[in-house]
């Protein structure tokens, strides 16, 4: 199946009470690991590149071709979107140009008027090419220079203004943060999410899919509550990174303990050496898909 835009399968998730995973990738094997999990669980999926990951992998064109080619060579039958995660304005335009099928313009660091103005331009240009668009209001917390900020609550009037521009799915802070959650994290503000969801339905006369960033490390019961209150796309990055690092570290310990035998068997070949790490990513993605409720919805 060719890569597709995401608005249809995310709206279906919103209307039917489950969420689609947006999984960040970092390289070839990572992308294969996510695709394997999505195909095994029969779920639509978004493969996401941050601006930094895309640069690391050789640019947006490379990432788009990578996902597109793997979908074909791996005989993937579930709907797959190649999505830009947290893109600046110029990056969003570049992704439209190279043929990403979905993108996030993140103007949340800008004054709201400017965020809305640029979002409107991105939405018009992307929609003209059938590309789905996510935008963000408020801001999502996270760690910067060692300082962990609590996730902010997105102003409801800003979310409504963004929805009225015709954005396909909307990222809004509800106390969620990127990276590992600190010990003293107070949890998602489901009360705020409930108000946000109700305001969006009232303003638009339909369900508006809400995006939950910082999806790693949120207890499953809070994930399910968020889905019940309008969340239809959940972003996951850190959990896959941690799964990869844990499995790789464990494998290195086994390698070191059996060095002579493993050297003889040429287990230093990266195709063998890194396999446990990438298998752990597939397992982690499959586990998230089950919790998000999107298995067998492709």
Specify the 3-state DSSP secondary structure of 182.
coil
* Residue closer to ligand 13P (CB basis): 104 or 196: 104
Tell the smallest beta-carbon distance from residue 245 to ligand 13P (Å): 13
Confirm or reject binding of residue 216 to ligand 13P (CB under 6 A): yes
Residues 10-49 as x/- pattern, contact with ligand 13P by CB under 6 A: --------------x-------------------------
- On whether the CB atoms of residues 71 and 80 are closer than 8 A, the answer is yes
* Residue closer to ligand 13P (CB basis): 39 or 85: 85
Per CB under 6 A, the segment of 51-59, 197-205, 237-245, 262-270 that binds ligand 13P is 237-245
* Residue closer to ligand 13P (CB basis): 138 or 215: 215
Tell the smallest beta-carbon distance from residue 51 to ligand 13P (Å): 11
**Binding residue for ligand 13P, selected from 5, 235, 284, 294, defined by CB under 6 A:** 235
Report the half-sphere exposure of 217 (CA within 13 A, side-chain side).
19
- Is 178 marked within a binding site? yes
Confirm or reject binding of residue 87 to ligand 13P (CB under 6 A): no
Tell the smallest beta-carbon distance from residue 56 to ligand 13P (Å): 15
- Is 136 marked within a binding site? yes
Structural tokens at position 256: 């070191």
Pick from 79, 48, 83: nearest CA to 236: 48
- Taking the C-alpha atoms of residue 211 and residue 10, their distance in angstroms, rounded to an integer, is 10
- Taking the C-alpha atoms of residue 199 and residue 77, their distance in angstroms, rounded to an integer, is 36
Confirm or reject binding of residue 215 to ligand 13P (CB under 6 A): yes
- Is 236 marked within a binding site? yes
- Taking the C-alpha atoms of residue 298 and residue 294, their distance in angstroms, rounded to an integer, is 8
* Beta strands 143-144 and 147-148, pairing class: antiparallel
Residues taking part in catalysis: 85
Confirm or reject binding of residue 85 to ligand 13P (CB under 6 A): yes
Confirm or reject binding of residue 108 to ligand 13P (CB under 6 A): no
- On whether the CB atoms of residues 23 and 233 are closer than 8 A, the answer is no
Q: Which residues contact 146 (CB under 8 A, 6 or more apart)?
A: none
Q: Which residues contact 232 (CB under 8 A, 6 or more apart)?
A: 10, 11, 13, 14, 18, 19, 20, 169, 209, 210, 211
Angle between helices 275-292 and 220-228 in degrees, nearest 10: 50
Confirm or reject binding of residue 237 to ligand 13P (CB under 6 A): yes
Confirm or reject binding of residue 239 to ligand 13P (CB under 6 A): yes
Alpha carbon 272 to its chain centroid, in Å, reads: 28
Residues 161-190 as x/- pattern, contact with ligand 13P by CB under 6 A: -----------------xx-----------
Q: Which residues are part of a known binding site for dihydroxyacetone phosphate?
A: 179, 214-216, 235-238
**Residues at the contact surface with ligand 13P, assessed by CB under 6 A:** 24, 85-86, 178-179, 213-216, 235-239
């Amino acid at each position: 199946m060719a890569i597709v835009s995401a608005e249809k399968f995310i709206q279906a998730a919103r209307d039917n009470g489950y969420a689609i995973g947006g999984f960040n990738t970092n390289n070839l094997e990572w992308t294969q690991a996510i695709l394997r999990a999505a195909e095994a669980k029969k779920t639509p999926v978004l493969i996401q590149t941050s601006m930094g990951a895309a640069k690391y992998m050789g640019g947006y064109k490379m990432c788009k071709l990578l996902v597109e080619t793997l979908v074909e060579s791996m005989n993937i039958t579930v709907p797959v979107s190649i999505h830009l995660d947290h893109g600046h304005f110029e990056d969003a335009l570049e992704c439209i140009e190279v043929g990403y099928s979905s993108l996030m313009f993140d103007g949340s660091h800008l004054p709201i008027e400017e965020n809305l103005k640029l979002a409107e331009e991105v939405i018009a240009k992307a929609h003209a090419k059938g590309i789905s668009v996510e935008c963000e209001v408020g801001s999502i917390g996270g760690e910067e220079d060692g300082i962990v900020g609590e996730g902010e609550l997105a102003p409801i009037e800003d979310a409504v203004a963004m929805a009225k521009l015709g954005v396909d799915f909307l990222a809004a802070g509800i106390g969620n943060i990127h990276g590992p959650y600190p010990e003293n994290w107070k949890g998602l503000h489901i009360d705020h999410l409930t108000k946000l969801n109700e305001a969006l339905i009232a303003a638009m006369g339909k369900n508006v899919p809400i995006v939950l960033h910082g999806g790693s490390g949120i207890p499953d019961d809070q994930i399910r509550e968020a889905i019940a209150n309008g969340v239809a796309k959940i972003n996951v990055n850190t959990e896959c990174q941690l799964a990869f690092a844990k499995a790789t570290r464990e494998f290195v310990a086994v390698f070191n303990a059996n060095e002579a035998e493993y050297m003889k068997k040429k287990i230093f070949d990266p195709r063998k050496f890194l396999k446990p790490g990438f298998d752990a990513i597939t397992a982690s993605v499959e586990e998230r898909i089950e919790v998000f409720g999107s298995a067998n919805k492709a």
